[in-house]
Chain A
Amino acid sequence: MKERDLNKLAEEVKDQVLLTSADKVINWARKSSIWPVTFGLACCAIEMMATGAGRFDIARFGSEVFRASPRQADLMIVAGRVSQKMAPVLRQIYDQMSEPKWVISMGACASCGGIFNNYAIVQGVDRVVPVDVYVPGCPPRPEQLLDGIFRLQEKILKSKGKLVA
């Protein structure tokens, strides 16, 4: 092959081929389509629905596919207060989700019990499942939930060596 052709080939390859690490491309794919499990508990679930509806349109960020089955979901948004009775169920659903999986604790009740500190409410869902992002608010506005998802996306982008999480 002549040198001229080689140069031309190099030029073309430069425009069409992107070299990156496996981590980066896998993380990019994962963060761009985080599918949440439909797991509404209380008030925050209504704001979660509003986030999915027209005005806030979570579909812009690849997370509109709310899956009813935990086995098809990557993200559990714990939207609302977790009662003592619900906690084992919540843990079971988390265990049923396939790896890699993330958890957003949405709202004050899920994060720390909120205004309910009594015999019935688990004081923070992080006592039951590991939490990646805490979204404050009672309930958080849809924008806040979207921001929480952005933070999670950043976190996923930065994760390393998690081909098999």
Chain B
Amino acid sequence: MSEKTTSFRDRLAARVGAELAAELQPVAGKAFEAYAVRKEKLVELLGAARECGFEFLSDLFAIDFHPREPRFEIVYNLTCVQSGERVLLVLRLADGESYPTATGVFATANWHEREVFDMFGLKADGHPDLRRILMYDGFEGHPLRKDFPLGYQPERGFFEDVHQTPKEEGGPPF
């Protein structure tokens, strides 16, 4: 709805200062106005975005561009609830690299970062409670990585400990 008159970077420069705004590198081809950021400046930029009116972290997720390098992108979908405008901050990470947690700025990032860890294996530094969230604890691998197969996983003795009734002849397979 809102026709953007000034870019997010200009607004940030006016509000917080040109030095921080220079950290924003425009990215083309994203769903909204998007900027690549360095992970050292991420938390500072998220805080600055909040001051510019983007005070709602709508979503935080990762994309695996395997085999491109750097392989992962973490996208912060920031929303201004007054105007409905959105801006994306993009963090590019190599495999095994960690990134700073956003939970200090937006509490909602907590579960999103846990999900990124569960599904992609990327760790958020300083996260208060970084555990698997959707898969069970003994699960091996990170399902949403492109090198993880889709197919049905064999149980690998997963149900052995819960089997209390003896196996019947011709009964269920285990």
Shortest CB distance B163–A (Å): 7
**B-contact 0/1 string along A102-140, CB 8 Å cutoff:** 000000000001000111110100111110000000000
Shortest CB distance B63–A (Å): 19
- The total of interchain contacts (Cβ-Cβ below 8 angstroms) comes to 48
Contact of B135 among A85, A113, A129 (CB under 8 A): A85
A119 and B148: CB pair below 8 A? yes
Query: Does A87 make an interface contact (CB < 8 A)?
Result: yes
Cβ < 8 Å to A, chain B residues 135-174: 135-136, 139, 143, 148-153, 158-159, 161-165, 168, 171-174
Output the nearest chain B residue to A85 by Cβ-Cβ distance.
Answer: B136
Contact of B173 among A87, A117, A127, A129 (CB under 8 A): A127
Shortest CB distance B170–A (Å): 11
* Distance in angstroms between the alpha carbons of A25 and B158 in the assembled complex: 42
* Distance in angstroms between the alpha carbons of A113 and B151 in the assembled complex: 12
Query: Does A91 make an interface contact (CB < 8 A)?
Result: yes
Query: Does A143 make an interface contact (CB < 8 A)?
Result: no
Known: A118-B151, A119-B143. A84 touches B171 (CB 8 A): no
B162 and A91: CB pair below 8 A? yes
Question: What residues of chain B have their CB less than 8 Å away from a CB belonging to chain A?
Answer: 134-136, 139, 143, 148-153, 158-159, 161-165, 168, 171-174
What are 17 of the A-B contact pairs (CB < 8 Å)?
Answer: A84-B158, A85-B134, A87-B158, A87-B159, A87-B162, A88-B158, A88-B161, A91-B159, A95-B164, A113-B152, A119-B152, A120-B135, A120-B143, A127-B172, A127-B173, A127-B174, A130-B171
